[in-house]
Amino acid sequence: MKNIVLTGFMGVGKNIIGKKLAEELGLKFVNTDDIIEKKEGITITQIFEKFGEKHFRKLEKEIIKKVAQGKNQVISTGGGVVLDQENISNLTENGVIICLWASPEVIRERAKRETHRPLLEGVDREERIKELLDYRKPFYEKSADYIIDTSHLTVEETVEKILKCLRFKQIIKMPSLARRTLLFLRIFSRRDKRSTSS
């Protein structure tokens, strides 16, 4: 099965939604930021502070290339992964990209509960969020197979929307009951056409 890749800005719910989605589909959940932290032995924030964003993006690219070679995974990516076309090329080679979106206001509220956001340190968070979103939006849109706004959705509702997208794209099969219902509707439609034509 193809990988399901979740992209999107910080605070859109990639982790919690990704874990729930992986559980629903019986797939492995992978968080690229977690892999980087484990490999380097320090947090993402510390990497930014000590070595800068450019170094982090280099580490991220290496991890993306490696992770993208696997199968049967739900991959949660960092918010800036879409800025590098090589990352997208690697991820789409064996994956479908679902971009999770949220309004700046929702992201700001969610970000209040978190302190480990290096790109929001020492600045006006609201302004910085809007600035980054405006810049990254075209990259998110261009790289995504589907975009889902999580602003007013629960985790369960978001997962269900993702599953519908995957069924439509035939990445996963429809549930057996749904398949039977669809078959019944098709048969009924054919019979109905025959009766009206006779």
| Separation in Å, CA 189 to CA 48, 99, 194 | 60, 36, 9
Phi/psi class of residue 11: alpha, beta or left (left: φ > 0; alpha: ψ in -120 to 50)? left
Query: What value does the CA radius of gyration of the chain take, rounded to a whole number of Å?
Result: 20
Q: For Cα atoms 65, 62, 7, give the angle at the middle one, nearest 5 degrees.
A: 60
Average pLDDT over all residues of the chain: 85
Classify residue 75 by burial, with Cβ atoms within 10 Å: 0-12, 13-18, 19+: buried
Provide the pLDDT for residue 108.
Answer: 84
pTM for this prediction: 0.82
Q: Where are the domains of the chain?
A: 3-173
State what percent of residues in the chain have pLDDT above 90: 67
Neighbours of 181 (CB within 10 A): 12
| Chain position carrying tokens 């800005």 | 9
> What's the CATH superfamily of 3-173?
P-loop containing nucleotide triphosphate hydrolases (3.40.50.300)
